[in-house]
Amino acid sequence: MSDASDQPNPAQNTAAQPAYDADQLGQLKGLEAVRKKPGMYIGGTDERALHHCVSEVLDNSVDEHLAGHCSRIEVGIHVDGSISIRDNGRGIPVDLNKESGLPGVELVLTTLHSGGKYGQGGYKFSGGTHGVGAKCVNAVSEWFEVEVSRDSKVHHMRFERGKVTKKLTVIGKAKGTGTFITFKPDAEIFRETTVFKTDRIAQRLRELAFLNSGLEIVFTDERPAGGKTETFFYKNGVEEFVRQLNTNKDVLHPKVIAFKKETQLVNDGKPVEIHAEIVLQYNDGFNDLVLCYTNTIHNPDGGTHLSGFRSALTRAINQFSKANNLLKDKDPQITGDDVREGLTAVISIKHSDPKFESQTKVKLLSPEVESVVGSVSYEGLMFYFDSNPGVARRIVDKGLMAARAREAARKARETIRKGALSGGGLPGKLADCSERDPALCELYIVEGDSAGGSAKQGRDRRFQAILPLRGKLINSEKAQLDKVLNNEEIRTLITAIGTGIGTGEDEHAFKADKARYHKVIIMTDADVDGSHIRTLLLTFLYRQMRGLFDRGFVYIAQPPLYKIKRKKREQYVDNDEQLNRILLELGSEDVVLTRLKDAHVFAPAQIDKIVECLAALEQLGAGVTRHGASLPAYLDRHHPETQDLPRYVARVREGNKETFEFLADDAARAAFNEKHGLNADGSDKTDSTPSVGEKKPAMFTKRVTIHEIFESTEMAKLLRAIAKIGLEIARFSATEEPRFVITENPGQKSESKTELRSPLDIVAQIRANGRKGLSIQRYKGLGEMNPKQLFETTMDPEKRRLLKVSVDDAAKADSLFTLLMGDEVPPRRQFIEDNALNVQFLDV
């Protein structure tokens, strides 16, 4: 036992440590908390959180529709990566808030837990309930602009990383009302990606149009790779939604089953209003799809509305079958899993005071909803079954078939399990790894024994397991589960992964915690057969091991796309973007760039930076050229000191004559509008509607449109970087006299010089130089590489590229698997015909 004198005396250390008092406490002010801890407010900093930002702003516009004030929303993705949302709602209030002394728009975009959704009467139903949505987006944006049209005026305000940089000002006259928000995600926050996915946003907009009948949503992607405009408008709302989800499927009843109810009750002493709308339809498939929404917000984890519906559905079908003696003693009991086979349903709840699991609203927690949805579902189903006994019998028969198939599948799973436990456990063709921690283990599912052999030789045996699959798998979309389980390749796959399959509570059902590998990597050739095998694998995993996707365990290996060769240099290239970078890199080798006016020679590092900036400028320039304007002419209008670029381009068409004017800022736009007699939104101030008896002009002699160049901020940054290097950029339009010279192979016999008349010509010439003497080979098969090359390019964790497969949109995934892998041939043929011209790499 130690002597007391040997123990440290806390009193002896007080002098060395600062006192713990009130001065030690800190407070994050304004939106600093959001930037410090974005995960608490937007659910993280990954791609999902990035798109959640769009939803936060979008939901405010939808709330205006729910309140009866908005009929149209426009969403646009711009070339610089920014995104805009415009609505024709009431517009955010701009008058001063008495309590804070701030304009309403500044209050709701800079102060947490502020807004019109706290019972003041602004909204009865709203998706945004925490008062943190749009202001959080403001906080995590590099810049954020808002225009509010109210009281016949357009008000403008700008923020950068949550802080006001331009106070609220009136920039013109407005014809209507509404809010127009544009923001660019901050790369300091979203380090994984700041690139919006077209399909992901389009699907969310389509959902919103379905859930809000009468709301028109227009979506435009201005980026070169996107280049499309879609309009979503559905008169019959949720009923059309369910019918679309069952497209390409054989339905058991042509008409959907739909019921709705409005309920008013008191919860915790407060009056609560709940509108429940449930629409469902059965098909002859083996999978179910139930989508849940609260105030148009998708709840992917369900919640009390889902549990209320599920229990009511099971109870109603069992009640009808008993009352009509449809089940015999020898028949198995119909469970909840059985009655949901082939079910497609949408549950849409509007709640005046919903409670969610988190700010991202993935799960509804309001307990009163369960009984409301359960009651309306049970009563609605029983009334429908009594009115349509033929349909009800078909549904019961389907549930009974599902119960029998479940028993057959259980026996098949038991056979697989016993086979795994006897005779060594794992399939013989599996080359397992030595590591036993699933979090560190990877399973490569490889096409064919040949590639499998190379993968086994090249792998890292410590943590990489190889499972070669021979031949084609059974199409699990077309076959019942007991038939699927008789396929040897499927049985091998199930045993190797170790999770079990399917839903349910029995010991053989899928359990993600039993996964033997936390990376299941599909590695197939980049040809037709490889794509087919990959699709068959994904179909089976999605239908029977969906939890692997939810946990982020499924990946697709990304072998290099090209092999390039120039002299002694050989390199694998992953994609076209990387190829373009390499062309610029090769073109910059062994060249000299000279500025002619003073014979200044740029250093190699400076040339690299110039080329990088000019290439980015060229790409962003699509935001200007898409409106018909000249990029060099636009760049010529940069400010000589700050390099700032015009924010707007005005297009004036009179007869066959077309001219462009570049407007520096809002003041210039307002002056232009006044000159041409336009409102701030570009519409004519005069009422163009002819009075009674007045003839409408046969044609317009003059047409003026104003386009905002959202990319101007990023382009100005690039100009500042180029100017800092010393490249002369006073003029981008071509001049008669040469301004630069690029010398290739200086001092050698092959020396050549090219005179250039514009800074933009530099990047074009460098790219052309890069292609000289370069051999580009399209890479297709894994078997074309030896084991060492296969590991280095496709399996080495330090160098490889893996594509994580996630299910961002369950409805779209379900529909696509049905379309591509189901029984219906005509829709699949139509899909192929419609998309044939979009194929980038055709294997012939």
Neighbours of 241 (CB within 10 A): 25
Find out whether 810 and 603 touch, Cβ atoms under 8 Å.
no
- Residue 777 pairs in a beta bridge with 563
CA angle at 322 for the pair 316 and 324, rounded to the nearest 5°: 100
Q: 525 catalytic, yes or no?
A: yes
> Tokens 């290099």, residue?
560
Find out whether 523 and 444 touch, Cβ atoms under 8 Å.
yes
Query: Taking the alpha carbons of 522, 528, 532, 533 in that order, is the dihedral positive or negative?
Result: negative
Given the residues 46, 527, 589, 684, select the one marked as catalytic: 527
Given the residues 106, 432, 525, 644, select the one marked as catalytic: 525
Helix (H) or strand (E) holding 167, with range, is strand 163-173
Helix (H) or strand (E) holding 691, with range, is none
Given the residues 230, 529, 728, 792, select the one marked as catalytic: 529
Q: 527 catalytic, yes or no?
A: yes
Q: 529 catalytic, yes or no?
A: yes
DSSP 772-829: TT-EEEE---GGGS-HHHHIIIII-TTT--EEE---S-HHHHHHHHHHHHSS-HHHHH
Find out whether 303 and 363 touch, Cβ atoms under 8 Å.
yes
CA angle at 469 for the pair 465 and 474, rounded to the nearest 5°: 135
Residue 682 phi/psi, 5-degree rounding, is: 90, -5
Round to whole Å and give the CA distance between 52 and 44. 10
Given the residues 64, 87, 432, 447, select the one marked as catalytic: 447
Which of 363, 374, 375 has the alpha carbon at shortest distance from 308?
374
Round to whole Å and give the CA distance between 784 and 776. 15
Which of 513, 689, 712 has the alpha carbon at shortest distance from 620?
712
CB proximity list for 758: less than 8 A, separation 6 or greater? 632, 731, 732, 733, 734, 735, 739
> What are the angstrom distances between the C-alpha of 152 and each of 89, 375, 703?
14, 48, 23
Query: Taking the alpha carbons of 597, 602, 606, 607 in that order, is the dihedral positive or negative?
Result: positive
SS3 state at 282? strand
DSSP 168-201: EEEEEE-SS-EEEEEEEE-TTT--S--PPPHHHH
Query: What is the widest separation between alpha-carbon atoms in the chain?
Result: 110
E strands present in 558-685 = 562-566, 569-573, 591-595, 600-601, 648-654, 657-663
Which of 78, 72, 82, 48 has the alpha carbon at shortest distance from 205?
72
Helix (H) or strand (E) holding 368, with range, is helix 367-387
- Residue 776 pairs in a beta bridge with 564
Ramachandran bin of 174, using left for φ above 0, alpha for ψ from -120 to 50, beta for the remaining angles: beta
Residue 85 phi/psi, 5-degree rounding, is: -130, 120
Helix (H) or strand (E) holding 744, with range, is strand 740-744
SS3 state at 547? helix
Residues written for the chain:
844
Round to whole Å and give the CA distance between 556 and 515. 18
Query: Taking the alpha carbons of 419, 422, 425, 427 in that order, is the dihedral positive or negative?
Result: negative
Q: 64 catalytic, yes or no?
A: no
DSSP 1-68: ---GGGS--GGGGTTTS---SGGG-----TTHHHHH-HHHHHS-SSHHHHHHHHHHHHHHHHHHHHTT
Find out whether 650 and 664 touch, Cβ atoms under 8 Å.
no
Q: Annotated active-site positions, please?
A: 447, 525, 527, 529
